[in-house]
Structure 1
Amino acid sequence: MKTNLIISLFITFFLCSCEWKSDVDDPVLNKLGTGHGIVTYTDYEPLKAKPINLHFYIPEGDIKTMPIVFILPGTGRNANDYLAAWMKNFRSKEVIAIALEFPQEYYSTSEYIEGNMFKKNEALPEEQWSFSVIEAIFSYVKAETGNQVNQYNLFGHSAGAQFVHRFVTFKQNTHLNKAVAANSGWYTVPDVQVEYPYGLKNSGYTDNTTLSHLFGSSLIVALGDQDIDPNDNSLRHDEQSDAQGLYRFARGEYYYSEGERISKANNMVFNWKKVIVKGVAHDFEAMMVQTINYLF
């Protein structure tokens, strides 16, 4: 009896020791490299005083040829949770995954979801946009890792999806490949008769070049068909956003259908895709799992 107790205690100690060793063997890194970690990025000169935290996972393999995905979290800016979800579900996928944390002390809600294009209704230079840091981070990641791919992909959920679809709308001449905008709360619809930020009127971007770029982009509008709560406390309600629908699923359907309608009216190529994820509400991990393969 005493012998069995000693053996049990030894096994318990051994298993705990193995678990502890596993944690040591999987440290959190503070520079880009194989494994996972966090890097504070300040190399983009126009936003040098507003650091962005890069939560990254780089698997074993040929880093030079791995696709790159930038992940934009929701209003909580919880990039760590988004990266954890990626590692839980896609650890074996040979992709460089970087969840971008725009800290709330440096980036207000509008500076995040609307890209900091305006301040007090005055247009800012494009280099000061929050959107513009993406290209700089892409160059940084390539330089630090030796990666040689020519394009990157975007995945955003909720507030992150607002960032993503507006990035696709307003940023031209980028290295973007494909983008998933999942469960956005409200949209900048490509309607030149609707006032910005709900449409393009007075945005400074109502020309055909903007529209053809947007419609020709590989934008995946991903919608959880159970994201239908009109009383969600993080959901905006005003005359303009409610004109798009009373909950996220309806607003996403409206955004896609308006994009399709306006592109046809202008005889422009429409390269968007709509993905409806059945049985899913406002769940970033479930949306990530069901849509990420559209990027690769």
Structure 2
Amino acid sequence: MKTNLIISLFITFFLCSCEWKSDVDDPVLNKLGTGHGIVTYTDYEPLKAKPINLHFYIPEGDIKTMPIVFILPGTGRNANDYLAAWMKNFRSKEVIAIALEFPQEYYSTSEYIEGNMFKKNEALPEEQWSFSVIEAIFSYVKAETGNQVNQYSLFGHSAGAQFVHRFVTFKQNTHLNKAVAANSGWYTVPDVQVEYPYGLKNSGYTDNTTLSHLFGSSLIVALGDQDIDPNDNSLRHDEQSDAQGLYRFARGEYYYSEGERISKANNMVFNWKKVIVKGVAHDFEAMMVQTINYLF
């Protein structure tokens, strides 16, 4: 009898051990608080019918003073993987990290990476832009946690980097501190002679205020020097994007150099930084690990 009990306990322990998952993969909270979990955000009235999932990690410590970073994932919208990568590598950082999932059923590719600024070539009011929800989420996080910081930072990779660099381009009067745009597939270059969305022509934002705001922003253009596959099936190829280069690394180099050139031609302050990550291709975790310290 005693032997059978021991065997039973052993089997139970073995099965439980096999089914156990790391808490990195298993969200445990459904409201913002110390720990990690997911909150579905619908408080921004203009986009109330298009919820956004906030995958968050808040470490122990003085929440009131912690920096806030919003993480924008790639085209797969896999915010859970991005948060897991953050928790794997940066648990010791006293930072509120929130990976933003714009669900594909509510946000098309263009509504995500281009911010929903236009619909059928008609300009939409700024409050309807996908970009505009960032400020609302920042206010929500502060209200829910008691956080008192005045700014936030952004990290985006691939499609998320497209969101980030266009957010910096078109959203003014925000609480943004610094932004990392890592391995973007293609860019809206700050050239008023190139048609939107590849440039600023006909975007409605070709004035010096837009350019000086963009060039004066703390934008970190992060590029994996091995992100050089021109045949990546998720990489856009058309005349306009290929004019920027045939693969992501070349396009990022082009975007940065054009920004530097145009800012100098207009005698504008240029606050961008280019970071080349050696030996890394299209790997969001490696890019995060190598560039996140530029934000803090």
Distance in 2 separating the partners of 1:199 and 1:75: 21
- Contact kept, 8 Å, 1:69 with 1:153, in 2: the verdict is yes
Going from structure 1 to structure 2, the CA distance change for 1:49 and 1:2 (only over 3 Å counts) comes to closer
Distance in 2 separating the partners of 1:152 and 1:173: 13
The SS at the match of 1:149 is coil
Distance in 1 separating the partners of 2:120 and 2:26: 46
Question: What residue ranges of structure 2 are gaps of 5+ in the alignment?
Answer: none
Task: Please say which of residues 154-163 and 20-29 is displaced more in the overlay.
Answer: 20-29
- Cα deviation for residue 8 of structure 1 reads 13
- Cα deviation for residue 21 of structure 1 reads 11
- Contact kept, 8 Å, 2:24 with 2:87, in 1: the verdict is no
Distance in 2 separating the partners of 1:22 and 1:122: 47
- Cα deviation for residue 6 of structure 1 reads 6.5
| TM value normalised by structure 1 | 0.94
- Cα deviation for residue 10 of structure 1 reads 5.5
Distance in 1 separating the partners of 2:241 and 2:140: 36
- Cα deviation for residue 203 of structure 1 reads 0.2
| TM value normalised by structure 2 | 0.94
Distance in 2 separating the partners of 1:198 and 1:214: 15
The SS at the match of 2:177 is strand
- Contact kept, 8 Å, 1:51 with 1:102, in 2: the verdict is yes
Distance in 2 separating the partners of 1:99 and 1:74: 11
Going from structure 1 to structure 2, the CA distance change for 1:267 and 1:33 (only over 3 Å counts) comes to same
- Cα deviation for residue 142 of structure 1 reads 0.2
1:32 aligned onto 2:32: yes
Q: CA RMSD in A?
A: 2.7
- Contact kept, 8 Å, 1:52 with 1:100, in 2: the verdict is yes
Q: Deviations over 1:12-35 (max 9, x none)?
A: 939967995986998610000000
- Contact kept, 8 Å, 1:195 with 1:202, in 2: the verdict is yes
Distance in 1 separating the partners of 2:4 and 2:257: 69
Structure 1 counterpart of 2:144: 144
Structure 2 counterpart of 1:100: 100
Going from structure 1 to structure 2, the CA distance change for 1:198 and 1:20 (only over 3 Å counts) comes to closer
- Contact kept, 8 Å, 2:24 with 2:84, in 1: the verdict is no
Structure 1 counterpart of 2:116: 116
- Cα deviation for residue 278 of structure 1 reads 0.3
- Contact kept, 8 Å, 1:215 with 1:269, in 2: the verdict is yes
- Contact kept, 8 Å, 2:27 with 2:38, in 1: the verdict is no
Going from structure 1 to structure 2, the CA distance change for 1:76 and 1:62 (only over 3 Å counts) comes to same
Count of residues in Structure 1 that have an aligned counterpart in Structure 2: 296
Structure 1 counterpart of 2:155: 155
* Identity in percent: 100
Distance in 1 separating the partners of 2:24 and 2:53: 23
Q: Deviations over 1:60-88 (max 9, x none)?
A: 00000000000000000000000000000
Distance in 2 separating the partners of 1:287 and 1:84: 14
Structure 1 counterpart of 2:275: 275
- Cα deviation for residue 152 of structure 1 reads 0.1
- Contact kept, 8 Å, 1:26 with 1:35, in 2: the verdict is no
Question: What residue ranges of structure 1 are gaps of 5+ in the alignment?
Answer: none
- Contact kept, 8 Å, 2:36 with 2:58, in 1: the verdict is yes
Going from structure 1 to structure 2, the CA distance change for 1:26 and 1:200 (only over 3 Å counts) comes to closer
Distance in 2 separating the partners of 1:82 and 1:280: 17
Distance in 2 separating the partners of 1:125 and 1:68: 27
- Cα deviation for residue 92 of structure 1 reads 1.0
Going from structure 1 to structure 2, the CA distance change for 1:27 and 1:199 (only over 3 Å counts) comes to closer
